[in-house]
Amino acid sequence: MTPTAEDLAARTRALLAAHPPATTSRPDFLAARFDAGLAWVHYPEGLGGLGAPRSLQAVVDAELEAAGAPDNDPRRIGIGLGMAAPTILAYGTEEQKRRFLRPLWLGEEVWCQLFSEPGAGSDLAALGTRAVLDDTTGEWVVDGQKVWTSSAHTARWAILIARTDPTLPKHRGITYFLCDMHAPGVEVRPLRQITGEAEFNEVFLTGVRIPDAHRLGAVGQGWAVARTTLMNERVSIGGMRIPREGGMIGPVAAVWRERPQLRTHALHQRLLGLWVEAEVARLTGERLRQQLVAGQPGPEGSGMKLTFARLNQEISGLEVELLGEEGLLYGDWTLRRPETVDFTGRDAGYRYLRAKGNSIEGGTSEILLNIVAERVLGLPAEPRDDKDIAWKDLAR
């Protein structure tokens, strides 16, 4: 029988009574929550859920927030929560689901994404990292280079796509793997960004061995599996649940209210326009999450991610302009390797610089415009003369 909102509220209160947040350690509370099926209520029983409607997660979250219960630090493990977990749930074996989902949600194992390459960013299907099956051991031997890998320096596992058959067209010769980031042959190097930090990395894979048990989906099915990941990624980036005046618009609105001497009519008009757009985007994100209750994410997430990137860049630019000379200050341009990205807890200069990456990460805005045009608006596709040519014969 499918749980109701009342059932979930009662289960949550029982969890809180048995494991009071004030006296229960954070790891123990999170473990108890997962085992009670209150981590992802829409996941199956035994995998952190109860098979309930996805929309009822809000019931659990509200009860826990009111009680001051700890969360699982979702910013630190966002790639695992937003990309790896739904892909493993959709394509993983029962053994893979039971092995990976619990430590992922608990934050015991951080995940990263080994997709983009120096020669295959926007055209991801052109990737050249090779995976060759060693028939004597049943392992895949992987060689190649990945780039723009957030959290690779802290990750225990990675979702990885590699070419397993170069004689097929580029979309059809790819296979999807779960890669141990501590395996011999994995090398992570920092990529210093405009902020001075290095949350991104480049990853070199040299003779890395992956057991076939860590293949996700069938051999050659990697592009279909990867599309599931990418759809979820764009929803997780562009469709995050935030309160009114949450996100980037919050600090700008606060400065406007607290420092009236900075105001001009022109800046006021720009702020009002961006405030309305941010609120429309927030409400659209709520609607998108409601649509997810009925099935897998669709191309609408690409539109949300497009809006997220544009708004962040315009809002952060307005904030710098509003602050005048003070907006040019940037307090700490040092090479750090942060575990999370904090847009609202830093100064305006950081937000302005970091927002530049929003139109690149999670799919460039140019590629997302094509996706929206073709799959949402139904416009004719751009000519592609390489879809039926074997990958090995493509010009590179």
Q: pLDDT tens digit string along 53-65?
A: 888 998 999 999 9
The backbone torsions φ and ψ at residue 232, rounded to the nearest 5 degrees and listed phi first, read -65, -35
pLDDT in tens, 188-220: 999 998 888 888 899 999 999 999 999 999 999
| Confidence at residue 223, expressed as pLDDT on a 0 to 100 scale | 96
CB 145 within 8 A of CB 203: yes
Mean pLDDT of the region 365-394? 85
Is it the case that residue 168 has pLDDT exceeding 90?
yes
Rounded to whole angstroms, the Cα distance separating 290 from 239 reads 11
Q: Active site residue: 199, 202, 233, 319, which one?
A: 233
Pick from 199, 284, 282, 215: nearest CA to 245: 282
Name the fold adopted by 111-225.
Butyryl-CoA Dehydrogenase, subunit A; domain 2 (2.40.110)
CB 96 within 8 A of CB 178: yes
Mean pLDDT of the chain: 90
| Confidence at residue 244, expressed as pLDDT on a 0 to 100 scale | 85
| Confidence at residue 277, expressed as pLDDT on a 0 to 100 scale | 94
Least confident segment among 100-109, 127-136, 255-264, 284-293: 284-293
Higher pLDDT, 303 or 139: 139
Report how far apart, in Å, the C-alpha atoms of 78 and of each of 84, 189, 217, 377 are: 9, 21, 22, 30
The backbone torsions φ and ψ at residue 243, rounded to the nearest 5 degrees and listed phi first, read -75, 170
The Cβ of residue 181 has, within 10 Å, a number of other Cβ atoms equal to 23
In sequence order, the 6+-apart residues with CB closer than 8 A to the CB of 243 are none
Where does 202-292 have alpha helices with state H? Answer: 222-238, 249-258, 265-292
Domains 111-225 and 226-376 share a fold: no
Higher pLDDT, 386 or 114: 114
In sequence order, the 6+-apart residues with CB closer than 8 A to the CB of 79 are 110, 111, 112, 113, 150, 151, 155
The full set of domain ranges for the chain reads 5-71, 111-225, 226-376
| 233 annotated active-site | yes
Q: Three-class SS of residue 154?
A: coil
| Confidence at residue 337, expressed as pLDDT on a 0 to 100 scale | 84
Mean pLDDT of the region 39-50? 96
Is it the case that residue 373 has pLDDT exceeding 80?
yes
Map tokens 């406007």 to a residue: 256
When the candidates are 1.20.140.10, 1.20.1050.10, 3.40.50.300, 1.20.210.10, the CATH number that belongs to 226-376 is 1.20.140.10
Is it the case that residue 341 has pLDDT exceeding 80?
no
Is it the case that residue 2 has pLDDT exceeding 70?
yes
